[in-house]
Amino acid sequence: MTAYPPSGGTEPPGGYPPPGGSPPPGGYPQPGGYPQAGGFQPPLGYSPGYPAGGPLKVRPGRIWYLVDLALFAAGLAWLITSIFAFAGTVDGLQRVPMPAGGKVHLGHTGGYIVYYEGQGAQNGRFPRFFMKVTPASSGASVANLRQYGSSLTYNVGSHHGRAVFTMNITGPGTFAVTISGNPAAGSDLAFGGSIARGIVGLIVPAVPLMVLGFFGWLALFIVRIARKSSMRRAGV
């Protein structure tokens, strides 16, 4: 067996290194020892792959989803409110039964629309009839009565109507409505303003707001996905 140091040998006085000797190449280790295995140690707080302030945020931010949602919600709210308002306008029309006729009170001057409500109103296929409107109170006056020039229909609850006449009132008051011909049983004539404005009010601005909100959300979603993918490829 061989031992180290050799048997009977002694270390040089003073230990290692010998007194007066030269330091090894590169100098002696500093107090605390060498750096740990693995090479360079990153400073405290450093995160690989990200800037010192943390990961980059994807732009535009998610807050813009709320903007698109608000636009869509505003359009939907307008649509619902307009539907109820339109239904109230139709329900509020003054009606006389056919063929009995009756009286209506028209409280302001200007144009009025007469709507046929009954079987065949939606497709315009109903029996031919005639209507006469005459003043029934002092000051009441009607200037003209003629057929409605285009197609305008509605379907609200139990009311299915079609515009059939227009008339111009030059003096407000009560008017007697006389009907002749062979109108369908259970049908009515309804008097009031034009519902065309109510139909337009359903569409504008409700539909544009809802479309803008939806496509704004969709565009934001696509942009964010594309930028996340680009940042991932760049290692950011």
Residue 190 has pLDDT above 60, yes or no: yes
pLDDT digits (tens, 9 = 90+) for 10-26: 545 555 555 555 555 65
Residue written as token pair 């197609």 = 151
For 65, other C-beta atoms within 10 Å of its C-beta total: 15
Task: Tell me which residue of 129, 133, 164 sits closest to 149, measured CA to CA.
Answer: 164
Give residue 3's pLDDT.
Answer: 46
pLDDT for residue 139: 92
Query: Does 164 score more than 80 pLDDT?
Result: yes
**Tens-place pLDDT, residues 114-132:** 999 999 998 888 988 999 9
Query: Is 63 in a helix, a strand, or coil?
Result: helix
